[in-house]
Amino acid sequence: MRTAICERLGVEFPLFAFSHCRDVVAAVTNAGGFGVLGAVAYSPDQLDTELTWIDERVGGRPYGVDVLVPGRLDASALDRHAHLMDFIPDRHRDFVTHLLSKYGVTAPAQPLTAVADEFGRRVTAAGASGLIEVALKHPIGLIASALGPPPPEMVAAARQAGVPVAALVGTVEHARRQVAAGADLIVAQGTEAGGHTGDISTMVLVPQVVDAIAPVPVLAAGGIASGRQMAAAMALGAEGVWCGSVWLTTEEAETSPAVKRKLLAASSLDTVRSRSRTGKPARQLKSAWTEEWDSAQESPGPLGMPLQLLVAEGAMARIGIAAEKGEPGALELVNYYVGQVVGQLDQVKPAREVVYEMISEFASAVDRLNTLSAG
């Protein structure tokens, strides 16, 4: 295709695949799309290993890396001498204990303090910088900031390495701010997307962002898991699309079997925007976890980011283990970040096949539009 993005990034088909799984990233890039590895789950050393693995498989085809750099931070996370876990109030620890007991989760607690510290700090600006440094040593074609404006050091380092910077936004105002901060490419993400989202739908958001920051190119995200939806996004003025949810049910995805089954069974009514996993509103599968945090009388309410992330990830690690053993209570609690397109996902497919199907359906959707408007 002939969008400015295709030319600038050397990609055949402007389909960007956000995934935490290197296999998905490599498969999409090799199929003519653009894989983007979500780096938040990795330490800098681990990220280096993952990117080397990808480099060895994509033969120079373009891929990117996504880091989570939140704009506002819980100040407690900035004290590097403290254990982040120490900032979690007793009420919140007790509520997690209560939930695990109420739902009969038997998996043992993990020794979390050190891991949690490492993980929690990685979503701070300081923590992200280690990942950015590693990423820019690899031949990546894009670096993306998933939350908040890209910090000046990230923009400077990327510029020096000749790597374009992308930023995800949910409002026109944020898009303007991100462009001012140096973003070369904006991902306008509607409320129907999985993970951290705003209130405005893709249909409404994309044209407004396109008009507000022209000629800066815009990718559309949220509600896109088919060629028809991709064609719709491009009709709105996007230069390409950024998809996350659709890869979760691919063969390559790291998604655990219990979660994959829940995703395949879910309808588009089965997601909710909840603060219960990260402290910021993030769309995910409705489950007993989101219901209890968001609605139970005894819920203390979620903490901010990154503290709620620590509370949730510690418990979710245990819940995940128990769910894989088939424990019914854990299966009620377990969930994952996913967009409303989850209702379309009912079959496990290779990532490559998803790309090819989207390309083919995109062409059919454009043909149909031509036929309709020829009358």
DSSP state of 141: S
Instruction: Pick from 15, 25, 51, 233 the residue near a second copy by CB under 8 A.
Output: 233
Among 156, 180, 265, 363, binds a second copy (CB under 8 A): 363
Binding of a second copy by 2 (CB under 8 A): yes
> Which two structure tokens, joined as six digits, stand for 68?
């989570």
Can the peptide bond before residue 215 be classed as cis, meaning omega within 30 degrees of 0?
yes
The residue from 25, 142, 248, 365 that contacts a second copy (CB under 8 A) is: 365
**Separation CA 342–CA 285 (nearest Å):** 9
In whole angstroms, the minimum distance from the beta carbon of 229 to a second copy comes to: 6
The residue (of 298 and 346) whose beta carbon lies closer to a second copy is 346
- In terms of Cα–Cα distance, which of 173, 194, 171 is closest to 281? 194
Sheet holding 282-285, edge to edge: 195-196, 282-285, 271-274
Tell me the closest approach of the beta carbon of residue 10 to a second copy, in angstroms: 13
Kindly state whether residue 9 participates in binding a second copy, applying the rule CB under 8 A.
no
For residue 173, what are its two tokens? 């105002």
Q: Cβ(242)–Cβ(189) under 8 Å?
A: yes
Give the contacts of 296 (CB within 8 A, at least 6 positions apart).
Answer: none
Q: Which residues, numbered 291-350, are part of the site for a second copy (CB under 8 A)? A: 339-341, 343-344
Q: Identify which of residues 241 and 303 has a Cβ nearer to a second copy in the complex.
A: 241
> Could you give the string, one character per residue 249-288, with x where binding to a second copy holds by CB under 8 A and - elsewhere?
------------------xxx-------------------
* Tokens linked to 168: 């995800």
Write each residue from 170 to 189 as x if it is in contact with a second copy (CB under 8 A), else as -, in one continuous string: -xx-----------------
Least spacing, CB of residue 270 vs a second copy, in Å: 10
- Selected range binding a second copy among 16-24, 181-189, 226-234, 251-259, rule: CB under 8 A: 226-234
In the bound state with a second copy, the residue whose beta carbon lies nearer, of 124 and 191, is 191
Cβ of 348: how many Cβ atoms within 10 Å?
Answer: 14
- 250 and 350 in contact (C-beta within 8 Å)? yes
**Token reading at 211:** 């008009």
Q: At what angle do helices 227-235 and 202-213 cross, to 10 degrees?
A: 40
Minimum CB distance to a second copy, residue 293 (Å): 19
Q: C-alpha angle with apex 13: 9 to 17, nearest 5 degrees?
A: 80
Applying CB under 8 A, which residues contact a second copy?
Answer: 1-3, 6, 171-172, 190-192, 198-205, 207-208, 222-224, 226, 228-229, 231-237, 267-269, 339-341, 343-344, 362-363, 365-366, 368-375
